[in-house]
Amino acid sequence: MAEQQIALVTGGNRGIGLEVCRQLAGRGLRVVLTARDPRKGEAAVQQLAGDGLAVEFLALDVSDPAAAEAARQWVETRYGRLDVLVNNAAVYLDESVSIFDVPLPDFEATLAANLYGPLHLCRAFVPGMRRRGYGRVVNVSSESGQLSTMGGYTGAYAISKAALNALTRVVAAEAGRAVKVNSVCPGWVRTDMGGPHASRSVAQGADSIVWLATLPDSGPTGGFFQDRRPIAW
């Protein structure tokens, strides 16, 4: 597309989300960085603006069902459309906790952020992408959501990511091939969630996300990727 593309990244104030915003803006996209905390979001935008990157802040709590529609109205009023949606925001509330012991409110909060948030945003933005004949949706998942290797503990998080992968398949099927909808595992990344001993930098974690967000028209859809290669569901 000749005109500047518009991208929205959830959970963009830190870690992988912030690096995705940096890399997309560095490629010339106009990036809407969203975060639940306006103070942290504005600080992140100022950080990127200091590097000469075109990034704008929008407050967005993905756990709020009404927030996705409000975001759609804001984006369409300001830019007329959205080309790229990166569903990165997530919570990890049950590290090393047995499925039998996860408090129900934590389970519900995990699903609200990790599954229903992307669902609401897809419902808000993908129909417009389909009408315009172009769109890229990247759902940031995890190897924890792979049914092929899934085990015990961190059950709420794992189940939420497996469900996110299922959402990817369903949305991709309904969106049509002009809208590329994919899941990605960034790997074990040195973030607040991954911890300081993780094996990957944020730049490495963001790479496949940015690749999927900027796929050519011949690119894949409905897949699950790591390091730019398909992985098992």
Domain boundaries, the chain: 6-230
Residue-wise pLDDT tens digits, 143-154: 999 999 999 999
Per-residue 3-state assignment (H helix, E strand, C coil) for the chain: CCCCCEEEECCCCCHHHHHHHHHHHHCCCEEEEEECCHHHHHHHHHHHHCCCCCEEEEECCCCCHHHHHHHHHHHHHHHCCCCEEEECCCCCCCCCCCCCCCCHHHHHHHHHHHHHHHHHHHHHHHHHHHHHCCEEEEEECCHHHCCCCCCCCCHHHHHHHHHHHHHHHHHHHHHCCCEEEEEECCCCECCCCCCCCCCECHHHHHHHHHHHHCCCCCCCCCCEEECCEECCC
> Residue 157 pLDDT more than 80?
yes
Residue 3's pLDDT is 87
> Residue 184 pLDDT more than 50?
yes
Backbone angles phi, psi at 25, to 5 degrees: -65, -35
> Residue 195 pLDDT more than 80?
no
Quick one: pLDDT band at residue 2, thresholds 50, 70, 90? Answer: low
Look up the pTM and report it. Answer: 0.95
Which positions are annotated as active-site residues? 157
Residue 121's pLDDT is 98
Angle, helix 104-111 to helix 155-175, in steps of 10 degrees: 30
167-178 mean pLDDT: 98
Domain 6-230 is of which CATH architecture? 3-Layer(aba) Sandwich (3.40)
Residue 200's pLDDT is 78
> Residue 189 pLDDT more than 90?
no
Percent residues over pLDDT 90 in the chain: 89
Residue 1's pLDDT is 44
Percent residues over pLDDT 70 in the chain: 96
Better-predicted residue by pLDDT, 103 or 203: 103
Q: Report the mean per-residue pLDDT for the chain.
A: 95
Quick one: pLDDT band at residue 97, thresholds 50, 70, 90? Answer: very high
